[in-house]
Amino acid sequence: MMSRKTRQEVIQELEDLLGSSLTEAAFAAPRLVDRQSHEGWNLDTLHFKGAEDETVPALFLHPADPDMPVPAVLCCHAHGNRFEAGMAELMEGRGSLQGAYGPALQALGIASLCLEMPAFGARQSRTESERAKKHLWNGTTLFGQMLEELAAGISFLADHADVDETHIGALGFSMGSTHAWWMAALDERVKASVALCSFADLDCLTKTPAHDGHGIYMNVPGLLKTFSTGQIAGLAAPRALMIGVGLQDWSTPEPCFEKARKELDAAYSDAPEALHFHIEPDMGHVETPAMRQVSLDFLEAHLCQ
C-alpha cells in the first residue's frame, strides 16, 4: 500500500495518526539559562517554550569559537522508568550505556543537543500516564508530541550558526532508539542515525508479553492497521542508518527483529551501503563496548567527511 503513495502522502498519514505536525515544527528562540565550559566548548542549558507554554529544557554542547560550522547530533534520551533523569544523560550517561555521549561526540568534533522529554527531569509535574491519557482523549498522542519537539530540536540545530545544517544526525538508546529511527524516517534533514536496543516489528511484539515493557508514551492508535516498523524506518532510505541490537533484549525478540530487518533491507535495496546492523546474539538491553565503538565510527564516517 505504501509503495503507491508519495513520500509526502505517507508522512501526512503518519502525522495524522500521531496527531502532530512535524513538517514545520520549530521553537521560538530559547532562553540561555546557564553556560559552563567543557574542555573548551560551551555546555548551554536552554529553555525552549513548548505546547501550552510548558518549558522544554535542553542541554547543548557546542564549540565556543568554531572556525567553521560543525556536525551535530540530536541525542534522544532513554526511558527505563528513570523519570528523574532525562537530558542529564547527555553528560552523565546511564547504567546501560558505556558512558555519556556528549563528551564522546565532542572528541569527534560533533556538537550535541538533548531535549528533556515530557514527564522527565524538570517536566515531572505531569506524569507520563496523565499526559498520554489527555492526548488520547483529544485524539492526539504523547509520542507525537515527543517527535514534534524533537523535530523542533532539529530546526534549532539547522538554524544555529555553529552547526553545519547539512550534517545533522540522531542517536538514541531504548526509548531514544525509537525516537532516533522515527526522526530518521520523518525528517530528511537527518543525514545519519544510530538506533540502539529498540527495533522490532510492533505487530509481532504485541503478540508477546514483551510489548507491555514499553511505556504508554509509545501507543499510537491505529498505527498497525497501515504501517509496520520496517516500513516506517525504511522512509529514511537512502540516508545512513545504523541499528544496534542484542538478541537477548526483551524489546527485540529475534523473530520480531528479523521481520523488521527484512522490511528495512528491502527499503534500502537501492542503497545497501547506507544501512548497517550491529547484532550481538548473546547480549540484552545494554550498550556493549563494541556497539559504542561501531556507533561512534558510523557517525564520524557519515557526518564528519
216-268 pLDDT per residue, tens: 999 999 999 999 999 999 999 999 999 999 999 999 999 999 999 999 999 99
The domain locations on the chain are: 2-303
* Neighbouring C-beta atoms of residue 256, cutoff 10 Å: 23
The arithmetic mean of pLDDT across residues 43-51, rounded, is 96
143-171 per-position pLDDT tens digit: 999 999 999 999 999 999 999 999 999 99
State the architecture of 2-303 in CATH terms.
Answer: 3-Layer(aba) Sandwich (3.40)
pTM of the model: 0.96
Percent of the chain with pLDDT over 70: 99
161-220 per-position pLDDT tens digit: 999 999 999 999 999 999 999 999 999 999 999 999 999 999 999 998 888 889 999 999
Nearest to 205 by CA among 252, 149, 146: 252
